[in-house]
Structure 1
Amino acid sequence: MSPIDVFRQIWNNDVMNLLLTSTNTYGAKLLNTNRPKTRNSRSREFKPITESELNKFLGLCILQGMIKVPIIRKLFSYNPFYYHPIFLHVLSGRRFEQILRCFNATPAVFDEQDRLHKVRSLLDLVKQNSNSVYSPCEALSLDESMLLFRGRLVFRQYIKNKKSKYGIKFYELTTHEGYILNLEIYHGRDRNQPKPGKTSKTEELVLRLLGPYLNKGHHVYMDNFYNSVSLSSKLLTYKTHSTGTLRVDRRSNPAVVINKKLRKAEHIWRKNKTLAYMSVSGRINGMYVR
């Protein structure tokens, strides 16, 4: 298959129709606003975009990610420092900025209480298509990532240890090769959500991400933010193995492993019927489910 064929498997007609309808609807809405418009304003007139223009726009957006420019309009100039022949050949700078201003993925009917309602439908379609065209191997990885974003957003995060300190946080389930199988966007604390019972919020998050892949014999690797004794035991009931680091203050940790004082390069491990624990140099360094 060619790269465009693979792209079409995920960004299929359903995704393109959603983007096309939502963008044209939002462009018409902006046109009907009562804001004052100058003679040369981009919002003075809006010509509905076609599927061909949408394909060109998405292609330029992908190409733009590999080119560094101070402002987008420089991509469409003849300045020798920024000139690229593809951009002016495909779309005019004015039309590209107009499509970018109106680019939208909000469906006609949505839940206003959902903070992600503007991207929820697009996200669900892309995840569904990604899972339908690819079957993962045994090893899976669970971690979070940050998408750089410094704009105004109520659930924007700041994590000092990340390369992109400000941005949108994603919880991702991937293959060992980095192919994303499932993800959730952190959109802040939901005050209306009932308090968790026996299952913590972190465990619920892991079970949601692993939902389509439970009872299939997968082996998931994760860090100490997600991993716990109770979670590993629950995953084992779903025929899913797990390996990961473990925080010392987590409940149900074996006391003999935690309290043992080790010298440098020493280790200690214990095992029960299903779980094995290991501590290296006084820290719990891993847990493996048999």
Structure 2
Amino acid sequence: MAARRTVKKLTAVEVLALLQELPDVDSGDSDEDSFVEESEFVPSDSSDEDIPVSMDTQPEQPVQSSLRTRKQTKRLIIVEEEDKVGKPSSVQGNSSKFKKGNHNVQDKDCRKRRCAGEKSSSSQKRKRTDQKFQKREEKVQKRKDTSKNSKTELCETAKDGTVWVRRKIEDFNSLQPTQPTQTSLSKGGPTEIARRKVTSRLQSFLCLFTISMFMTIRDCTEHKARKTNPDWSTSVYELMAFVAVLLFRGAAGRTGAMRDSWSKYFGIPEIMSTMSRDRYKELMRYLRFDIKDTRLERLQADKFAAISDIWGCFVQNCVQSYDPGNHITVDEQLFPTKVRCPFLQYIASKPDKFGIKFWIAADLNTKYMCNAIPYLGKDPNRDIGERLADNVVTRLMEPFLDRGRTVTMDNFFTSLSLANRLLQHNTTLLGTVNKIRREVPEQAKNTKEREEFSTQLFTSGSALLTIYAAKKKKNVCLLSTLHTKVEVEADLRQKPNVVTDYNYLKCGVDVLDQKLRAYTVRTGTRRWPVAVFYNILDIAASNAHVLYKACTGSKESRRKFQHKLAIELRNRHMQEVAQEKERKEALREMRRVSEGKTTTCQVQQSCKRNRSTEKCAICHKYTCRKCRKGSPFVCKNC
């Protein structure tokens, strides 16, 4: 049996001694080439450690005798020795087999092995670099995937492509969207022009409904009346008394029909003393606000031509007389009427289903009507692709932009495009959003999985979208560019401050409409310009009350103000009526004095001793008809 080979451990000193005793190779190559590389390596941490050497299992013999001849094969493994500095110097031990024969064959074999080793080392380096690059690419891809997953979880895209980022209430407190700069923003009140004019109730009303407007109505009314009655005429003061009659009835609470205001049992004394019922009916019959002969030409460009001049002047005066505060409310008003009109509207949600619709912008604090636009149907002047709501809000807010104000509106007007447009003019927006809009994320429409009284927040640029579950399976969506901080109430309903602020700011136009309905001058009519005229008088009385209180500091109620305003409006007309009565009484007195007496004319300027029974009111001389002036009481000499 073959003897087992044993491994004997040698020290580093013994291994070096063995290497020194080895003979040189005849080929002249280095010692490293004369050894055959072996795959077994035994590392050593210090030079004193033992190195294993494979030897036969025979009794121990001297080491030198085992390496005397070149024919014997030796297998050595040389381990690295560390320098004193600490840098390792690697020396690998090789085992080589020397055979008899030509040395060139051995040289070729060594060179082949060396080239193969170099190729293997270069390929290994390439593999290592490729592996490093692959690991780096995998890490980058993982990071991209995680960021995409996190973004897809936080972001949501609407149908029109609007990207909404979901936020938490804690995260939103740190956000700071663009805020409107408070440039020359006042608390609101009458302008300097209005403050100089307003000294009484009548002046506050005439600041809005001016004398020039009364003169226009007078001219148009006379033009209509003289087509059938050439001698018919009226005056500005009589028209003011006509308006006073309407205000009296409005302050009385609209009790019964208009004709009952002159009745014996239900009549209003102020109305009965101001104007007779027949004269009121004449004025109402001939009342016009434009010249009908040129109306057809103007109707081609303006459906509101029958009263557009009066309406335009009134709205312009309202804008110039008052500077609104920080918050303005935009909403619609339906003036109830069933007249024959090309733009009559039907709104089922209103108390009065039929009427003429107006877009109104009102001040929140004082309920002052700042601006108004009638709805006339499709507007040919509106740009193609522009929403009706965006166009209406932009036109209403045009005089009040770039002042840092806030506009509150309902879901008919609110949109993200309108919010961005107003934000460019330093004006913020707050309003509810209809969930069917394409710009609203799908999460707002999901009501089944929402908990009651929960709140979700989304942001898109400077706009904040708040989704509040007010009830089960019912979400309320609000869009705001006003809020920079979101807080939730600590009660059962847990309302966010966006919802509470909207509930407080939305009531401007609604409260104004309630005030107008309480003491309206509206009566039955079949002509839509007269219905618009009634709405103008209601708004003018309400705005005049606001101006009068702001300029004089008065605290009287609107009903009392309207009653006293009607008294001041009719005063000048009552003076004219009193003077007319005095003239008639003087004429009757003269006829009574000269009754039964006939004598020649004492003036005799245009007659030849004519007979006369009447005297001059100034000189008291008998005067015939030829010697009188235009008045029957005065002679030509006086």
Q: Secondary structure at the match of 1:104?
A: coil
In structure 1, what is the Cα distance between the partners aligned to 2:381 and 2:238?
45
| 1:135-183 deviation line (CA, Å, top 9, x unaligned) | 1111000000111101222221111111121111111111113211111
**Aligned position for 2:327:** 139
Of 213, 227, 230, 2:414 maps to 227
Matches within 5 A, 1:143-154: 143-154=331-342
Partner of 2:481: 289
Alignment equivalent of 2:369, drawn from 151, 158, 180: 180
Does residue 90 of structure 1 match 2:288? no
Matches for 1:4-15 after TM superposition, within 5 Å: 4-15=202-213
Determine the C-alpha separation between the residues in 1 that align with 2:201 and 2:381.
45
* Secondary structure class of the residue paired with 2:261: helix
Query: Aligned to 1:252, what secondary structure does the other structure show?
Result: coil
Q: How does 1:252-271 map to 2 (within 5 A)?
A: 252-259=439-446, 261-271=449-459
Measure, in 2, the Cα distance between the counterparts of 1:101 and 1:274.
56
Bigger relative contact order, structure 1 or 2, given CA contacts below 8 A and separation 6+? 2
Q: In 2, distance between residues paired with 1:15 and 1:156?
A: 26
State the one-letter code of the partner of 2:315.
K
Residue of 31, 43, 51 corresponding to 2:236: 51
Write the deviation string for residues 69-109 of structure 1: whole angstroms up to 9, x where unpaired.
443222122x22x1211112111100011111111111575
For residue 13 of structure 1, report the CA deviation from its aligned partner: 2.1
Q: d(CA) in 1 for partners of 2:408 and 2:310? A: 28
- Classify the secondary structure of the residue corresponding to 1:210: helix
**Cross-structure match for 2:350:** 162
Q: Compared with structure 1, are the counterparts of its residues 194 and 120 closer, same or farther at alpha carbon in structure 2 (3 Å cutoff)? A: closer
**Alpha-carbon separation, structure 2, partners of 1:60 and 1:217:** 42
Tell me: CA distance 1:240–1:195, structure 2 relative to 1, closer, same or farther (3 Å): closer
**Contact 1:257/1:278 (8 A) holds in 2:** no
Residue 126 (structure 1) aligned to one of 275, 290, 314:
314
Matched, 1:75 2:275: no
- The answer to whether residue 380 in structure 2 is matched with residue 203 in structure 1 is no
Q: How big is each residue's C-alpha offset from its partner over 1:173-222, in whole Å with a ceiling of 9 and x where there is no partner?
A: 111132111111112235xx277434212211111111111222111000
Shift of 1:257: 4.3
Using a 3 Å threshold, how does the CA distance of structure 1 residues 70 and 257 change in structure 2: closer, same or farther?
closer
1:239 to 2:437 alignment: no
Q: Does 1:106 align with 2:290?
A: yes
CA distance in 2, matches of 1:15, 1:288: 41
* Paired-residue identity, %: 22
- Equivalent residue letter for 1:131: V
Alpha-carbon distance in structure 2 between the residues aligned to 1:158 and 1:257: 30
Aligned-partner residue type, residue 479 of structure 2: M
Shift of 1:112: 2.0
Q: Please tell me whether residue 26 in structure 1 is matched to residue 221 in structure 2.
A: no
Partner of 1:65: 250
Residues 185/85 of structure 1: CA separation in 2 closer, same or farther (3 Å cut): same
How far does residue 283 in structure 1 lie from its aligned partner after superposition? 2.1
In structure 2, what is the Cα distance between the partners aligned to 1:26 and 1:149?
Answer: 24
3-state SS, counterpart of residue 362 of structure 2: strand
Structure 1 SS opposite 2:309: helix
> Following the alignment from structure 2 to structure 1, what is the Cα–Cα distance between the partners of residues 248 and 477?
42
Amino acid of the structure 2 residue aligned with 1:229: L
Separation in 2 of the partners of 1:132 and 1:124? 12
Query: 8 Å contact 1:277–1:284 — kept in the other structure?
Result: no
The separation in 2 between residues aligned to 1:195 and 1:137, in whole angstroms, is 29
- Structure 1 residue 259: deviation in Å? 4.3
CA distance in 2, matches of 1:196, 1:269: 33
Alignment-mate amino acid for residue 75 of structure 1: S
Q: Matched residues in 2 for 1:255 and 1:196: separation? A: 30
Opposite residue 280 of structure 1, the aligned amino acid is Y
Contact 1:257 1:270 (C-alpha < 8 Å) held by counterparts: no
**Structure with more helix by fraction:** 2
Number of equivalenced pairs: 273
Normalised to the residue count of structure 1, the TM-score between the two structures is 0.87
* RMSD over aligned Cα atoms: 2.0
Q: 1:119, CA displacement in angstroms?
A: 1.2
Q: 1:90 is matched by which residue type in structure 2?
A: T
Q: CA deviation at 1:47?
A: 2.3
Q: Is the 8 A contact 1:106 1:118 kept in 2?
A: yes
Larger Rg: 2
Conserved in 2, the CA contact under 8 Å of 1:229 and 1:251? Answer: no
- Answer with 108-117 or 198-207: which moved more: 108-117
Which of 7, 12, 16 is residue 214 of structure 2 equivalent to? Answer: 16
**Distance in 1, Cα, partners of 2:381 & 2:223:** 36
User: Match of 1:95, SS?
Assistant: helix
CA distance in 2, matches of 1:85, 1:128: 35
Hey, what's the Cα distance between the residues in 2 that align with 1:120 and 1:218? Answer: 29
Tell me how far apart the structure 1 counterparts of residues 258 and 446 of structure 2 sit (CA, whole Å). Answer: 58
State the secondary structure of the residue aligned to 1:65: helix
1:46 Cα deviation after fit = 5.9
**Partner Cα separation in structure 2 for residue 95 and residue 232 of structure 1:** 53
Where 1:242 maps in the other structure, the secondary structure is: strand
AA partner of residue 61 (structure 1): L
Cα deviation per residue 1:217-238 (whole Å; 9 max; x = unaligned)?
A: 1110000000011111111111
> Against the structure 1 CA distance between its residues 132 and 195, is the aligned structure 2 distance closer, same or farther, given a 3 Å change threshold?
closer
> Is 275-284 or 231-240 further displaced after alignment?
275-284
Unaligned runs of 5+ in 1: 32-43
TM-aligned CA distance change 1:94 to 1:274, over 3 Å: same
